[in-house]
């Protein structure tokens, strides 16, 4: 089993301030969260930088990804260090991800910039049911939706500042390997949890 924060921003996102080195250092030092998905807004540069820095550490894993601002709402794509071609409609992004064998997650569906009820028919692989930057009531709506749709529910801090890292995480029945992790998420071998450090809940 591996514990992963599946939604982390670096300073390569225009609205975030976390140095990729901070993520690598903190992941290395963390007692049990040993994997993080780098999900910057519409770029994979932060992931590339963090991966370079992490290459000297054996026991941490960075998962490539991006949070794509589609015209319909935010979609997290995990497993590829490249952006889908434009135009970024939810349909195009999900089709691209499927072609590449990547995983798609409806990020905070009921918060601003979420897919909302469109999540029901867009074909995502999983739903973010515990977002560290969302209030409990909107996380609850996302959790209900995942249950109703029989889709896996995942967690990520959505950290934009270093203090917000690792507030929540996903326990995944997989070893420290990106493909295995993505497969396990698709198969629902996941459980969400909180470290109790969030300022929101």
Q: Answer left, alpha or beta for residue 158, where phi above 0 means left and psi between -120 and 50 means alpha.
A: left
State both tokens at 81.
């260090």
Binding string, residues 100-139; x marks residues near Zn ion by CB under 5 A: ----------------------------------------
| Cis-peptide into 125, omega within 30 deg | no
Q: Segment 46-75, which members bind Zn ion (CB under 5 A)?
A: 67
Q: Segment 153-172, which members bind Zn ion (CB under 5 A)?
A: 158
CB of 5 or CB of 67, closer to Zn ion: 67
CA distances from 105 to 46, 127, 132 (A): 19, 5, 15
Residue 62 β-bridge partners:
36
Least distance between Zn ion and beta carbon 160 (Å)? 7
CB of 158 or CB of 164, closer to Zn ion: 158
CB of 18 or CB of 184, closer to Zn ion: 18
CA distances from 193 to 20, 69, 129 (A): 24, 26, 10
Least distance between Zn ion and beta carbon 99 (Å)? 24
CB of 40 or CB of 125, closer to Zn ion: 40
Residue 69 β-bridge partners:
74
Residue 40 binds to Zn ion (criterion: CB under 5 A): no
Least distance between Zn ion and beta carbon 40 (Å)? 8
State both tokens at 129.
């049911």
Residues lying near Zn ion in the complex (CB under 5 A) are found at: 67, 158
């Amino acid at each position: 089993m591996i514990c992963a924060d599946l939604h982390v921003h670096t300073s390569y996102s225009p609205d975030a301030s976390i140095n990729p080195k901070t993520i690598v250092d903190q992941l290395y030092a963390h007692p049990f969260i040993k994997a993080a998905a780098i999900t910057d807004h519409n770029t994979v540069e932060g992931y590339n930088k963090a991966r370079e820095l992490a290459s000297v550490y054996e026991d941490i894993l960075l998962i490539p990804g991006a949070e794509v601002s589609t015209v319909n709402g935010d979609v997290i794509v995990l497993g590829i260090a490249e952006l889908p071609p434009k135009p970024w409609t939810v349909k195009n992004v999900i089709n691209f991800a499927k072609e590449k064998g990547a995983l798609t997650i409806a990020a905070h569906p009921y918060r601003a910039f979420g897919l909302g009820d469109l999540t029901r028919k867009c074909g995502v692989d999983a739903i973010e049911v515990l977002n560290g930057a969302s209030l409990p009531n909107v996380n609850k709506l996302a959790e209900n939706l995942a249950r109703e749709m029989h889709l896996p529910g995942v967690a990520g801090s959505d950290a934009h500042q270093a203090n917000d890292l690792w507030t929540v995480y996903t326990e995944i029945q997989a070893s420290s390997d990106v493909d295995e992790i993505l497969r396990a998420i698709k198969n629902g071998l996941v459980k969400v949890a909180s470290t109790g450090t969030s300022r929101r809940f």
